[in-house]
Amino acid sequence: MRPVLYVLSFIAVMALAFWAYRENYATQHQLKEMGRLQDEIASLREALVLQRAEWAYLNRPERLRALATANFERLGLLPLEPTQFGAAAEVAYPAPPAPPAAEGATGVDAEGLPAITDPVAVAGRIAAVETATAGAAKPGDKEYP
């Protein structure tokens, strides 16, 4: 009985030694991996800071002003004026979408207006034409969009 116990315990010691050996190397590997990841995080964080700084540098008011001036023809940007404040009531409601039937109805009557095919479709078309030509709708329009 005793020799069997000796052999078993010897095998157990060997197995544990093998397990500890592997665990040791796995831990070291994980630590190395962790260090690598942390280096990566640090470098990414550094890059992030640099990019934030660059974003701030590229968006500095002086440069934006120069760009707005250089691209005035295309963008037409000007400083905000007190007259540019509007009331919510002045905002035109969007025209209701024209039903597909009206899109197909290309018939034009003698006065150059679209031919009346359907009362609902006509209402939509008229509203659309009105906003397209008049630009901003009158304040009263909001009650009858």
Q: Which residues bind other proteins (CB under 8 A)?
A: 31, 34-35, 38, 41, 45-46, 49-50, 52-57, 59-62, 65, 79-85
> H helices of 59-118, where?
61-70, 72-75, 100-104
**Quick one: 59 or 133, whose CB is closer to other proteins?**
59
Least CB distance to other proteins at residue 32 (A): 9
- If the CB atoms of residues 12 and 41 are measured against other proteins, the closer one turns out to be 41
Q: Closer to other proteins by CB, 53 or 129: give it.
A: 53
What's the closest the beta carbon of residue 56 comes to other proteins, in angstroms? 4
The sign of the dihedral angle between the CA atoms of 115, 143, 94, 80 is: positive
Q: Say how far apart CA 24 and CA 13 lie, in whole Å.
A: 16
Report the first-to-last Cα separation within the chain, whole angstroms.
100
Closest separation between CB of residue 142 and other proteins, Å? 19
Nearer to other proteins, 58 or 129 (CB): 58
C-alpha–C-alpha distance, residues 118 and 115, integer Å? 9
89's CB contacts (< 8 A; 6+ apart) are 139, 142
Closest distance between other proteins and the C-beta of residue 15, in Å? 27
Q: Which of 93, 136, 103, 62 is nearest to 114 (CA)?
A: 103
Which of residues 17 and 53 has its CB atom nearest to other proteins in the complex? 53
Cβ 67 to other proteins shortest distance, Å: 13
